Amino acid sequence: MPPQVTQSGYFEQIYQGPYKGVHASLPENMIPEQMSPLIQNFILKNAELRTRPRMSVGILGTPDGYPIDVIESFQDSNTAFHTVIVNRRGLWQLNPNFANNPAPDWNLIGVFPVQPGPDIPVAHVTFLNKFYWTNGGNNLWVWDGITSSGIPTIGNPFPWPANSRVFVGNRVIDSNGKVELCIQAGWTGSAHPTWSTTVGGNTTETTVSPHVPAAIWVMNGAPAPASGFYGAAMVDALNGITAGGFYLGVLASRMLLLSTIEGSGQSGVPYQQRIRWSASGQPEIWDANVNIGAGWVDLLEVPDFITGFLAIGDKTGFVFRNNGISEMTSVSDGILPFDFNHLWASDRGIGNVFPFSISGYGPIGMFIASDDIYNISVGGFKNVGGPARDAVFADLAAATSTPLSAMVPKWSDRYAYLVYLLAIPFGVDTKFWMYSLEDGSWTTWLKKNVTITGRANFVATK
């Protein structure tokens, strides 16, 4: 509404919230009064125009100066929290005394077998109290945050322990130098059992008296690379083929590897249409010869490549491709546990064109397709670019490197504000487009002289 002019010519225009964000799709004199043609470094929560929170140096990086690819906190099986980062060198953990100089901010947990390691944004999940990640190599790495007094170096091959209680998923190296995974919790005996030498062969502990029951192990092939942490995805245990990839997910108690890289040693071949899943509840068993619950599929019936994954609930997930989306539904616990339904009848449709633009929070996800920015949830798809879409796309077209997104539900314990934060590199600066899922508004931030290297995350610091 334009301001009302009285007979004397007096007018008064009032601007007040809730403010609705950037509007770049109409002339500046035709947009609603709560919208703006240009916003920089303001947030609009609670009907206020508030300067955005300060971004200051919270924790220094690692001494090697490599970019931080991911930051995440997980809780180990002792309920201790670990805040970890991954860079080209390896895995680091936050020192609880980081704020007290001269204590180092980060302690090195382990290094990649080949230096320097890959340096792309890392896909990661926490599954059964362990931190799993993969970053474009042929390994899925895992660290459990735990060591024992019997192990001199974290992540070294875990020796078989005598007279000990072990649990499903525990991993040891048998007397033949092979990886054994516990598939039935119980006790180990006083001496090594006769280990099966066949991949997928089971071994039941002997000499367990007086403790019962005896633990049962399954042989999972040669040890995957271990260096402070270890490789978990042995997809062909007989031939020592391991897999890593670009995206990770969890669906129906199985871990998923998408757009995989597979090979032996440290080299691999990319399979950009491949999805692998682990055995149910066994994220370190990926070979169907070891456990029939593990498996893989190539989406050869669609012409494009996988660009991300988002789970919407426990049974259904969406596999994103450049020009489409495939619905992935858990249908059984058998040999073929998933059904794939490729959405859209045409060969080009709503897909995810920027691999790292996908972010999710619970059942809500956001991604960028060719025609708009979409919000995906249990209720379906909703395009949310709105009047800011053209401006966001203009910035994406001018990006000097890969855009990276994060979904932030909480900014501090006292400040909840669910937003999608899309970082677009512009030379040495970074421009952020922030979409508030509460207000449905878009605003921009600018941060000079920095490049974002990993997704923002709400992590433990004490």
Partner 1 sequence: MVQGFLPNGGGSGGRNPYKPPSGKSTIHGSPGLLTSTGGLFGLNFKLLMPLFDSVFDKTYCALIDPEDNNCEEEAFYLFRQEDVMPSRFISVHKLIVVYKELGPAKFSIGVQVYNRDANKFYQTSKQVEIKNRQDRTAPFPDGKLRELPVDFVIEGERPQVFIRRKANSGPLCITRVHMIGKADQKDIV
Residues 107-136 that bind partner 1 (CB under 8 A): 107, 109
CA 253, distance to chain mean position in Å, is 16
Residues in the chain: 462
Look at residues 435, 433, 405, 404 and name the one whose alpha carbon lies nearest to residue 419. Answer: 435
Residue with tokens 């200051």: 56
> By CB under 8 A, how many residues form the interface with partner 1?
106
Phi, psi of 357 (to 5 degrees): -90, -10
| Nearer to partner 1 (CB atom), residue 61 or residue 223 | 61
Phi, psi of 389 (to 5 degrees): -55, -50
CB of 270 to partner 1, least distance (A): 25
Among 126, 147, 207, 402, binds partner 1 (CB under 8 A): 147
**Could you tell me which stretch among 145-153, 171-179, 277-285, 376-384 binds partner 1 (CB under 8 A)?**
145-153
Distances from the Cα of 370 to the Cαs of 373, 387, 404, in angstroms? 8, 16, 16
Look at residues 256, 173, 162 and name the one whose alpha carbon lies nearest to residue 205. Answer: 162
User: What separation, in Å, do the N-terminal and C-terminal C-alpha atoms of the chain show?
Assistant: 51
345 part of the interface to partner 1, by CB under 8 A: no
| Nearer to partner 1 (CB atom), residue 7 or residue 346 | 7
Among 296, 381, 411, 426, binds partner 1 (CB under 8 A): 411
Does residue 382 contact residue 374 with C-beta atoms inside 8 Å?
A: yes
CB of 384 to partner 1, least distance (A): 22
CB of 349 to partner 1, least distance (A): 33
Rounded to whole angstroms, the Cα distance separating 284 from 67 reads 28
| Nearer to partner 1 (CB atom), residue 336 or residue 448 | 448
Look at residues 157, 156, 143 and name the one whose alpha carbon lies nearest to residue 70. Answer: 143
CB of 14 to partner 1, least distance (A): 5
| Nearer to partner 1 (CB atom), residue 13 or residue 194 | 13
Look at residues 224, 220, 176, 222 and name the one whose alpha carbon lies nearest to residue 201. Answer: 220
How open is the CA angle 295-301-305, to the nearest 5 degrees?
Answer: 80
| Nearer to partner 1 (CB atom), residue 295 or residue 355 | 355
Amino acid at 184: Q
Q: Quote the tokens at residue 163.
A: 């007279």
Residues 53-82 that bind partner 1 (CB under 8 A): 53-62, 65-71, 73, 75-76, 78, 80-82
Residues 152-171 that bind partner 1 (CB under 8 A): 154, 161, 163-166
Q: Quote the tokens at residue 287.
A: 């070979």
Residues 426-445 that bind partner 1 (CB under 8 A): 428, 430, 445
CB of 451 to partner 1, least distance (A): 5
| Nearer to partner 1 (CB atom), residue 336 or residue 415 | 415
CB of 429 to partner 1, least distance (A): 9
Site string for partner 1, 19-58 (x = CB under 8 A): --------xxx-xxx-xxxxxxxx----xxxxxxxxxxxx
3 part of the interface to partner 1, by CB under 8 A: yes
146 part of the interface to partner 1, by CB under 8 A: yes
Residues 179-208 that bind partner 1 (CB under 8 A): none
Residues 6+ away with beta carbon under 8 Å from 2: none
